[in-house]
Structure 1
């Protein structure tokens, strides 16, 4: 392909991912998917290598890119199949994120796969929102190993019935939306291959990955060779273990980059453990941020990165470790640690730490008729850089969701939002200030159960170049402080207040 043809081809396959996302959003029932956009869509070649994705959720896409080759092997695929999985130790992230994979065939030949991953607020955990303070994987909900929901175009009734056992009217509707998104992806890819021809399509996919690798290696050449180390801490695991270490060494050589997690804490009792796919996603994200904006999202971009991750550590946990928060919280700290290491190598590019948490809030009532489950992550401040202040009230790093609109939230659930505002002054001061966090107050109109899984409540988002750190976050109920990770029952009229962290500042001297 000529450069122009390759650019057009990249746009065409990326547009298929975008259309899949549009279908999923429009067909979904739950606010978590249709309003917060907590989903991702991607395309893979016949070997399970990523060649296109939409700009959705980094932790979803990076983990799918890492694990898909293992997911698709060992299955005798047929046209019309749809496979589901959420097992963190078999290619998933945490149980609420359910992945659907469909093969696409042209002329009887397997040419690749379409996949989407969406977060379900109810995946069968005993606590509403399916984000419990858990100690074992099985406590977090329904574990779905790679399972065919549809075989050759026919629904597998026994597997659909298992999903139907989950409470809430939205669940089956959201799964149907995911299936529809995959069907659209298969149709569009099949149409594209018929227009181009199979050989040219396969060559185009190979050229995308080769082009991505060339761009990535050009950036690698600009990073000074050497070994750069950094350590950061998780506040706690929700079960009494505090100040849990994530230690990273980034080794830059001519041949590639090795990210070594030797010295990271062992897996813990609580639910902040990571499967390897999530750790890989966080590392991939950090290096993707260094590449030109128009770099295609493909396997070639990450081909020069290798990982050394001790088995049984916090970031490469083994079954039956609880993982509900590893995907959403530990992934954020891995990013902080990797960027902290890179700040020694390329200080003019790397920003200070962002809020370092997704501020997970899960709530609902399974005893109510009908039952309800609600889940969201709350934005905060991003870290300042050498040239600009951090942004305020934004989702950062491994999440890219929207907030739930107040109108939608109050229409669907027995809740009232009392306040939603900037947490002014929470960003770290410096020559460039860190971004400010948010304040969000929930008033409960009915009895409910609430789970908070938050970080940076005892540690702070770090600054760079002698600036001040961002402020830690705060949680409270009716003005009384709450720990960063907790489950509690609330009564009508009580108010939950979440104050999210600010970003770290950059530099000392006169503010820009």
Structure 2
């Protein structure tokens, strides 16, 4: 390939990234659920005819993107090429063939050019409700957690499956939001397809094969170079998490070989009877993300780069098989990067951040009028973030969703979705772990139902009993907490009730510190106090 050809392919690669970015923005702009529209809990990507991910949108979460990278192959195995037509869109929320739990809807659409299959577009989004027990850890099997949609056609030759839509409406609490999001997902793929065809016609490409070869060859070469430069050997780490009603140990062993990195999760807790289990695809998604953050953060995320990371595990809480309950698979899944990075830190001292809050502090509110009162019912989902761990050379980021990467949800948007009032949402002083570099702060959030209403809430919290650990001598972050405004202590997981007139108070955990506290400069400590990050009694 000549230098001119290389430049031409690079331009087309950039165009392809623009295509998937527009694909994702379509979903953001048209979605009904605040978790998609405001928080960006989604993914979008383009794949070659073999189901290999060529490019992903920057908008989105690693848990969605990296599981979706494998999900397309599952769709291709279920729907034969002879049954794929122009205008088709396929759908599933199967946790083991999609992205890990029933609330995530994955759609895949074949893309045709002049009658020939040239690729696929895929996207994923978290919908507000899928029926069953609701979004929470209380189910004893996946059958209790909501409606299950096997891999099937949402639309064939442009005609929507009306029977599927009717079944959805009958099984979910917010039918307009959920069905609206299904159409948004389909539109997202359709926009990607139209932009891809326009690009291919413009540059005279009959197939994506030359571009795929260009992308994968260069990505693979760059990844191999980075991995060869790493120290070789095996390193292990363990972590204890809150669990549902008892502590849950997690374990990982990272082995760096000449041209690959393998993670084994032997030693983690057995499959739980509660919905905190994690399908292996989601575990692999976040293990790969953690490794890539350290090894090659600047190399594009695609089929070739992900292929350098492998994962194994016996059947356990991080490799739960059907029909285990998996509704809250994200809670332990979001702790996987801290678990893996803790092992990598021994291999690469001075290069890995401290532990953080990690798990999103999602809360699902089911609001209703008090008995005999007037008002409205609503299902409201909030995404909230604690503090990140301190980094070598930098303080941790406060109230930041790492590793999930979702956006902060404005309280104004949340309050528009139902009779809920957010009385307080502010940074939590003294929650970041002390150290040469301070851990990021958590938040304090105060929630109540509007007058004349009460609510049940699903708690999906961690780092309450076992807070984020510091690194290299840094202190631990502050643990989280859940209580009512009258002092009643609430549980960190499971459905619970808040009576009318009471407020729910969440104190989100902070990130761990990095380096010994005596190494923090007087100027930095003064700045902490001036900004209110640390109170007078704490410095």
Normalising by structure 2, we get a TM-score of 0.90
What's 1:507 paired with? 515
Is 1:475 matched up with 2:475? no
What's 1:384 paired with? 390
Say which SS state the counterpart of residue 194 (structure 2) adopts: helix
Structure 1 CA distance, aligned partners of 2:414 and 2:222?
43
What's 2:242 paired with? 235
Is 1:438 matched up with 2:447? no
What's 1:253 paired with? 257
What's 2:158 paired with? 153
Structure 2 CA distance, aligned partners of 1:255 and 1:9?
28
Cα distance, 1:301 vs. partner?
0.5
Structure 1 CA distance, aligned partners of 2:272 and 2:220?
36
Cα distance, 1:288 vs. partner?
2.1
Q: 1:185 aligns with which of 181, 187, 192?
A: 192
Cα distance, 1:173 vs. partner?
1.4
Deviations along 1:70-109, one digit per CA (max 9) or x if unpaired, are 2222313211111111111223311111011101011222
Further displaced range: 11-20 or 164-173 = 164-173
Aligned counterparts, 1:185-204, within 5 A: 185-199=192-206, 201-204=208-211
Q: 2:13 aligns with which of 10, 15, 24?
A: 10
What's 1:290 paired with? 294
Structure 2 CA distance, aligned partners of 1:49 and 1:206?
11
Q: 2:27 aligns with which of 24, 29, 43?
A: 24
Say which SS state the counterpart of residue 480 (structure 1) adopts: coil
Is 1:33 matched up with 2:33? no
Q: 1:265 aligns with which of 269, 276, 281?
A: 269
What's 1:303 paired with? 307
Is 1:407 matched up with 2:409? no
Structure 1 CA distance, aligned partners of 2:194 and 2:368?
39
Do 2:86 and 2:110's aligned partners in 1 also have CA atoms closer than 8 Å?
Answer: yes
Say which SS state the counterpart of residue 178 (structure 1) adopts: helix
Is 1:141 matched up with 2:146? yes
For CA contacts below 8 A with separation 6 or more, give which structure has more relative contact order: 1
Is 1:50 matched up with 2:53? yes
Do 1:219 and 1:290's aligned partners in 2 also have CA atoms closer than 8 Å?
Answer: no
Q: Which has the larger radius of gyration?
A: 2
Do 2:428 and 2:507's aligned partners in 1 also have CA atoms closer than 8 Å?
Answer: yes
What's 2:524 paired with? none
What's 2:282 paired with? 278
Structure 2 CA distance, aligned partners of 1:408 and 1:354?
27
Cα distance, 1:281 vs. partner?
0.4
Cα distance, 1:366 vs. partner?
7.0
Structure 1 CA distance, aligned partners of 2:343 and 2:78?
38
Q: 1:63 aligns with which of 63, 67, 72?
A: 67
What's 1:350 paired with? 352
What's 1:424 paired with? 429
Do 2:393 and 2:437's aligned partners in 1 also have CA atoms closer than 8 Å?
Answer: yes
Further displaced range: 207-216 or 52-61 = 207-216
Say which SS state the counterpart of residue 84 (structure 1) adopts: strand
Structure 2: tracts of 5 or more residues without a match? 522-539
Deviations along 1:92-133, one digit per CA (max 9) or x if unpaired, are 311111011101011222121101101111111334xx3352
Cα distance, 1:51 vs. partner?
0.9
Q: RMSD over aligned Cα, in angstroms?
A: 1.7
Say which SS state the counterpart of residue 163 (structure 2) adopts: helix
Say which SS state the counterpart of residue 279 (structure 1) adopts: helix
Deviations along 1:215-255, one digit per CA (max 9) or x if unpaired, are 2222212221111100112211x2x3x22221111111113
Aligned counterparts, 1:334-373, within 5 A: 334-365=336-367, 371-373=377-379
What's 2:317 paired with? 314
Deviations along 1:181-221, one digit per CA (max 9) or x if unpaired, are 11101111112222234456321122212222222222212
Structure 2 CA distance, aligned partners of 1:61 and 1:254?
26
Deviations along 1:18-72, one digit per CA (max 9) or x if unpaired, are 1112111211222222122221111111111111111211110011113322222
Structure 2 CA distance, aligned partners of 1:476 and 1:7?
54
